[in-house]
Amino acid sequence: MTAPVTAPPATGPRTVRIPVTGMTCAACQSRVQRTLQKQPGVNDATVNLILNDATVTFDPATTSPEALVEVIRDVGYGASLAVPDQTALQEQNARDDSATTEYVAVRRKAIVSGIVGLFAMLMSMPLMSQLAATMHTHGGASTVGDPFMRWTMTVLDPALRRAAPWMYAVDPRVTTWLLLALTLGVMAWAGRHFYTGAWSAFRHHAADMNTLVAVGTGAAFLYSLVATVAPEFFIDRGVAPDVYYEAVILIIALILTGNSFEARAKQRTSSALRALVHLQPKTARVLRHDAERDLPVESVMTDDTVIVRPGERIPVDGEILAGRSAVNESMLTGESMPVTKGVGDRVIGGTMNTTGAFRYRATTLGGDSVLAQIVKLMRDAQGSRAPIQRLADRISGIFVPVVLSLAVVTFVVWFIAAEQAPAVRAFAVSVAVLIIACPCAMGLAVPTAVMVATGKGAELGVLIKGGEALQRAGDLTTVLLDKTGTVTEGKPAVTDLVLAPNGAFAHREAELLQLVASLESRSEHPLADAIVQHAKDRGLALTEPDSFESITGRGAIGVVNMSGTAFAMTVGNAELLADYAVRIAPLQEQVDRLASDGKTPMFVAVDGVLAGVIAVADPIKASARDAIAQLHAMGLEVVMLTGDNERTASAVARVAGIDRVVAGVLPAGKVAEITRLQSLGHVVAMIGDGVNDAPALAQADVGMAMGTGTDVAIEAGDIVLMRGDLRTAAQAIALSRRTMRTMKQNLFWAFVYNVIGIPVAAGVLYPAFGLLLSPILASAAMAFSSVSVVSNSLRLRRFAT
């Protein structure tokens, strides 16, 4: 089981993951992170905005998880320790539930305040037209520069006057006080967290999105309050006693609407993770005391016998004891074809049994299961930060105080420059500046793309372990491949059987194979295994040889008795046959050809006469050629690194279409080659099997570990290719490139939005075009910006190669 506090060395630092609620933007995240980092005893703290948690490494002698939770609460966010002994699956479920509750609450507040806001706007119409008339009399200003105000005065006001003339008959003071009451209600209920969040940030010398919303709406509210209580104060100074109650309500409503869309979209970014979590069935059919019982999966114990029927999902990991079936593992490996499983094969919890039935022994459970490990890895990956985000983080950190300063500059400039009603103008414009500035879009630009891309990767059978791996994979120039197990199947197989012309076995291929395989059945050499396997695959019966002798480095000799006849067998290389004075000249040409193709030919002599040649090779994977062509099409150089000899390696490279080969290298040599390429400025990916290639995988900019069937090397590499298909490496690189493009687009639009939005709200277009933005339009634009960034990231879900 996964405990929330990872097992520590007795006295060393410990790591705790604390779920945090109430963070809305990058500024919130950086505030919680900075606060935690400042705590005595904290070695490191990382806060994740999307997953809503903090991972803290601390010295248990100085502080405790409970104290850290208190610190987070003190800066204005919700925090609680994860429940002990929860699996990654249960934890994810709990997170989903809490995210849904938060989304539903925000949506409800957005809808209610939106309705109240519209009602308030209609109620304000009579006030606005009366004020316009009053100010006209007093020589005050009109607000026609603002398109929203222009629309309300020219379209909405006449329409309302016709539809509900009674509204214009109500005493304006009654209307104003009623609006005041409504606004207070909305601010206290729907917008409360903006003010409490802003206040707790302020106390800690920090500012975030809440600060902008709170200062903007707070200033509008206070202004309106004075205008309601003492309107003469304004009128006597030639300033309209405008009230902005409807603006306050609509700003809160629009920002909440944006937040709810954002929450919804953020939920969708982790849909792949959720789909994985829901793969595990809730119950398992277990054999206990000779009776079948349906038990909750949590109750299944190691070594329990589990029964799976056709069409059922496999509940936990295990090893088949009896029965045979094809299992669809596509949800974990991306492999669309069901995989045949028999006695002794491993099955993974969460995969789908197809037609057969079987019994199996439960092996790994709970947090150790493959599914739980994948969920944990994906969750960690989705919460990780891509280096490109540092720019966004730096800007978010200083963004809000800079915007506050800009709002003050805007106020002063408008106060001095406006010809009519400078105070009103200056006030409305600076509130619009506060409201339109949006640090959220910047905060969401990178993490949402990382979330969606890692989820999409998992669907394709590619586990990407974080934003950094994604970013580096997007920048690759060179791909290095290990040969055995990556380009080739990793298991020698018989590729050719050439019979000697005019020999005794010239037309008796099966018999010759039977004889050779019978002899080799006593050998432990991998080449012998390949021959035996080949004979078995062809359904040939093998007999025990009468005698057998293995001659190291040359081959094997012995006697095989078949159908009452004894055959003296000699199987091996040219030297062995020369020792027995066997003429190999008739097949020399074929042998040379086979060797030049990278195969290992073995001569076969029966009773001292050459009978044929058997060639064994590690066959190239069917998908390797395609994959390498795809990598080339992406402009990548493909190099093969292998410990094999030059001749075999070159032959494989030629057939697979690989650009360059470095043969005869040991693991240290592979690392040296990667370092050399890196020093030349290449960004290098190493694709290997994750066990033998661990040093090379670690040295490469991106290590891609090739999983083999169910035996997924989850710990190895930055990217895990769940099935042994090299094409998924090409997909992973393509996905990374696409993700980088999305991140850059998001950052670009988030910056451009603010770079354009803030000056427009400040009124730079007013002198030339007479254009101003009301705070209401500004809040709509602000809500739109973060939703557009998240939506752009969601487009990655449609990624296909």
Partner 1 sequence: MSRTEWLVAIAGVALIAWINWYFFLAGKTAPPKDAP
Contact residues toward partner 1 (CB under 8 A) are 35, 38-40, 67, 70-71, 74, 203-207, 398, 400-401, 404-405, 408-409, 411-412, 415-416
In this complex, which beta carbon is closest to partner 1, that of residue 204 or of residue 625? 204
Q: How far is the CB of 676 from partner 1 (least distance, A)?
A: 44
In this complex, which beta carbon is closest to partner 1, that of residue 734 or of residue 758? 758
**Cα–Cα distance measured from residue 473 to residue 679, given in angstroms and rounded to the nearest whole number:** 18
Asked whether 640 and 481 are in contact (CB, 8 A), the reply is yes
Q: How far is the CB of 38 from partner 1 (least distance, A)?
A: 5
Catalytic site positions: 482
Number of Cβ within a 10 Å radius of residue 12:
9
650 phi and psi angles, rounded to 5 deg: -65, -40
In this complex, which beta carbon is closest to partner 1, that of residue 207 or of residue 265? 207
Q: How far is the CB of 401 from partner 1 (least distance, A)?
A: 4
Degrees, nearest 5: CA angle 213-215-218: 95
Tokens of 132: 């316009």
DSSP annotation of 25 reads S
In this complex, which beta carbon is closest to partner 1, that of residue 34 or of residue 737? 34
Beta strands 14-21; 318-323: pairing state: unpaired
Q: How far is the CB of 57 from partner 1 (least distance, A)?
A: 18
In this complex, which beta carbon is closest to partner 1, that of residue 71 or of residue 697? 71
DSSP annotation of 7 reads P
Contacts 24+ apart (CB under 8 A), 554-558: 554/579, 555/602, 556/519, 556/520, 556/522, 556/523, 556/525, 556/528, 558/519, 558/522
Q: How far is the CB of 292 from partner 1 (least distance, A)?
A: 57
Q: How far is the CB of 28 from partner 1 (least distance, A)?
A: 15
Asked whether 747 and 450 are in contact (CB, 8 A), the reply is no
**Strands lying side by side in the sheet with 42-48:** 42-48, 53-58, 14-21, 78-79
Q: According to DSSP H, which parts of 463-573 are helical?
A: 467-474, 509-520, 526-537
Q: How far is the CB of 661 from partner 1 (least distance, A)?
A: 56
In this complex, which beta carbon is closest to partner 1, that of residue 159 or of residue 417? 417
Beta-bridge partner residues of 53: 19, 48
Asked whether 663 and 644 are in contact (CB, 8 A), the reply is yes
In this complex, which beta carbon is closest to partner 1, that of residue 423 or of residue 464? 423
Sign, Cα dihedral of 195, 197, 198, 200: positive
**Cα–Cα distance measured from residue 769 to residue 149, given in angstroms and rounded to the nearest whole number:** 16
Nearest alpha carbon to residue 305 among 370, 355, 358 = 358
DSSP annotation of 270 reads T
Q: How far is the CB of 771 from partner 1 (least distance, A)?
A: 24
In this complex, which beta carbon is closest to partner 1, that of residue 56 or of residue 362? 56
